[in-house]
Structure 1
Amino acid sequence: MNKILIVEDSKFFSSIVKHKIENELGLSVIVVDTMKAAKLTLDVRRDDFFIALLDLTLPDASGTDIVKTVKSYGLPCIVFSSVFSEELHHELNELSVVDYIIKDNPSSFDYLVSLVNRFHNNKNINVVIAEDSKIQRQMAAHFLKRFNLNVIEAENGEEAFKIVEEANKSKTSKIELVITDYEMPKKNGFDLIVSLRKKWNPNELGIIGFSAADDKRLPAKFLKSGADDFVHKPIQPEEFISRISHNLNNLEQINKLHIAATRDYMTGMYNRRFFFKAAISAYEKAYKDKAQLLVSMIDVDFFKKVNDTHGHHVGDEVLIKVAKVLETEAREQDLIARFGGEEFCLFSVGMNAEVVGNYLNHIRQKISELEFDGSGGKFKITASLGATVKKFDCLDDMINEADERLYDAKEGGRNKVVLSR
């Protein structure tokens, strides 16, 4: 269910849209040029599509006929047309289309592709609506669900905060956007925003305020309290969705920048810079609390030989698969980073010293079980691990100790763990 259906009789327009979507988004596009062809396609392949892009003027259909037909299959629709009227706008809104785009300039193509991308990504995004009016809450939820978002409703600010707090303990159910009314029982919109901002900054959680109150200063009050945007009620669907899109796009862009700054581009692991930023403060706290500490340096054996024999593309695959083993087999609370080349570092707090040896040997064994396709057929690799649970005055000294034990592992024949206690 990862394809897009385009119903458009203009080959010029459909070819441009198809090309941009497939090249910029990596999504598959199927194009048909009549309502009859659309029906035949959906009769056989409805489950292949997650959205349809529809022209309103077709050889065998006019007006909103094609919209009603495609909607009858339960498929969300984006409409594009060269004409516009208030009557048509109202009718499309009644049909709950995702959006309506005028084919009047080249920027329409970019907006359409951006809209498709936003709709596709929204299926993984959770939004909380805090509103004490059931009618207003359900209306806002309807617009958001139309936009493919997962919506959780809250009757007041106190309930909304608890939902966000509980959900954000898990990576899979994380809340990315909160939409809150101003006047609510138990905790009003301002108090909710202040509470949320104490725990999550604007790079982590988007907040949009909305209200029907006739106070021109209200938007500024919301923004100064920590909201990212404000919408007046009654909600206008196009404005509401546009602001939602804008804020979610900003969050995604910030997240991409954060990943670029903290992650290794090849393996996706944390990079050396982030490792020290996160580990130093954790080390100081653990040292003060007298908690057990572990640092291990992990190095792929004979990695240069892998590159020289099988090529750098195979060497890259080795690093990616080793990184995957480290992230899969290590404890969730442990910090692992690629230090550079074929070298990785693991930092752990609170692990029982008696199980450290078995823990590291398990990781070493999992790496030795990896298999790769090389120039002369299948081959395997090994890794050496140097580690220490000795406490030093600073993290750098502990890393240096682990590095020296890694040297001992290499000198001792490789594919082994050398641990100092």
Structure 2
Amino acid sequence: MHPLPLTTRPSSSSLPQRVLLVENSRAYMQVVAQAIEQQLELPVTVATTLAEARAELDSHDDWFMVLTGLVLADGDRDTVVDCFLRRGLPTVVVSGVYDEDLRVRMLRRQIIDFVLKSTPGSLDYIVWLVQRLERNRRISALVVDDSTSARMHASILLEMFGYRVVQADGGEAALAAIEADPTIRLAVVDQEMPGMQGIELTRRLRALRARDRVAVIGVSGRDDPGLVAHFLKNGANDFLRKPYSREEFFCRVSQNVDQLELIGSLQDLATRDFLTGLPNRRHFLEQAERLVPKLQEAGEPVAAAMIDIDHFKHINDSWGHETGDFALRAAAQAVSGHARRQDQIARFGGEEFCLLVPGLDEAELDAYFDTLRRRIEDLRVPVRGGELKMTVSIGVCPAESGDSLHRLLSEADRRLYLAKAGGRNQVVAAG
């Protein structure tokens, strides 16, 4: 059995961004448009009639989704919804009047959601919904079910919500898909499958991807009270019982993906430097403490380097701390752009950066760090009335047999000060 890709998504940079807002109340339209533009930085185009909406749709080809009311001067409810669904646009209906029959009728169509605009928190919900749909387009979801019809049903719902969907008709195919595609962040796993049941698949999937990497939702049509706990104890994040409604499915999926993103944000706060976006000192030390012994056991060369921006206090005193921050970010981007995938980098504090570089002999180290030094020397940071130039001093320490990370960093730091004392804008890689 093999994973079955359902669709191919465009790259993130080519994804449409424009939101169309169709509403006869100009006051409400202005509030919604302003909230989306300010909070999500997505362009919003507004229309008060169906004719205006059609004209706008024809004038651009970068439409992402539509938010539409149902009370327009030139179209009844079905005509309004048909106009957007026929163009294949994700459509959210926003109504000013609660009517359960209307809500049920609309949700039988291929709309994303039906939102009552007069309820408390509806504006926040609309903004969240737009943001969720926009982010979904960068996420892959895996649907695992041996039933073709059940697999297609879940896949179509996920595609409607913007996800790129990969299907698998069994456990082995699902595990192969997870290993092959790092963009899979969500797996919907059926329990009743031949060969490998859903709980066993969930347990084996957890050996490949932790809870903070992939959310697993177990599903089953069996009326077994113990099944939910069994799924959760084996690594599932949530459970859905078949048959489920579209609204319940969307809420559960979105809640779990939101949770993954929240965990990712908290991890970034804990491991990344806020100003530069580079890994912070703590994260670097945790990673490097594990990496140095492994490289030495394997006989691989490794070196530590300390990098410091020359005369940084003068930059702050002459140009101000805001310009100093620009300089730090520019230097950080240069370091990040120069580093290879296997290199460990960090902002160590202040104007100081650190690198752990494996796999280079001493001659290659000299060339590697002198290229980085020149790259930073060539930077031109725009400032008021001109541009800022800067240089760095670099101390490099290749590891000897049995060296600890602490000794490598201490010696690299000592060589950095030798570079400073020797005139700055240079690399010192020998004692």
Normalising by structure 1, what TM-score?
0.94
Which of these residues, 101, 104, 111, is aligned with residue 125 of structure 2? 111
Give me the whole-angstrom Cα distance separating, in 1, the residues matched to 2:173 and 2:56: 45
* Map of 2:32 onto structure 1: 17
> What's the counterpart of residue 186 of structure 2?
177
Q: CA deviation at 1:415?
A: 1.2
1:306 corresponds to 2:311: no
AA paired with 1:366?
R
Aligned pairs for 1:206-245 (under 5 A) are: 206-245=215-254
What is the alpha-carbon distance in structure 2 between the residues aligned to residue 127 and residue 73 of structure 1?
24
1:386 maps to 395
The one-letter amino acid paired with 1:206 is A
- Aligned partners of 1:198, 1:339: CA distance in 2, in Å? 33
How far is 1:85 from its partner? 4.6
Alignment pair present for 1:413 and 2:423:
yes
Whether the 8 Å contact between 2:292 and 2:405 is mirrored in structure 1 is yes
* Aligned counterpart, 1:171: none
SS of 1:53's partner is strand
In structure 1, stretches of 5+ residues that fail to align are 169-173
Q: How many residues align?
A: 415
Q: Tell me which of 259, 262, 269 is aligned to 2:271.
A: 262
1:10-409 aligned at under 5 Å gives the runs 10-45=25-60, 47-85=61-99, 87-168=101-182, 174-391=183-400, 393-409=403-419
Distance 1:97 1:159 in 2: 31
Instruction: Tell me how far apart the structure 2 counterparts of residues 343 and 59 of structure 1 sit (CA, whole Å).
Output: 63
String of CA shifts for 1:4-52, please: whole Å, max 9, x gaps: 111111223222212221222222222211112111111212x232011
Amino acid at match of 1:43: D
Question: Could you tell me which residue of structure 2 aligns to residue 6 of structure 1?
Answer: 21
* Kept after mapping to 1: 8 A contact 2:330/2:381: no
Deviation, structure 1 residue 376: 4.7
CA contact under 8 A between 2:85 and 2:110: conserved in structure 1? no
Among all aligned residue pairs of Structure 1 and Structure 2, give the percentage whose two residues are the same amino acid. Answer: 38
Instruction: Tell me the CA shift for residue 194 of structure 1.
Output: 0.6
Secondary structure of 1:281's partner? helix
Alpha-carbon contact 2:307-2:354 (below 8 Å) kept: yes
**RMSD between aligned alpha carbons?**
1.7
Inter-partner Cα distance in structure 2 for 1:243 and 1:205: 14
Distance in 2 (alpha carbons) for counterparts of 1:206 and 1:351: 39
Q: C-alpha deviations, 1:355-399, integer Å up to 9, x for none? A: 111111111111111112234523421111100103354211110
- Bigger RCO of structures 1 and 2 (CA < 8 A, at least 6 apart): 2
Unaligned runs of 5+ in 2: 1-15
SS of match in other structure, 1:78: strand
- State whether residues 5 and 31 of structure 1, in contact with CA within 8 Å, keep that contact through their aligned partners in structure 2: yes
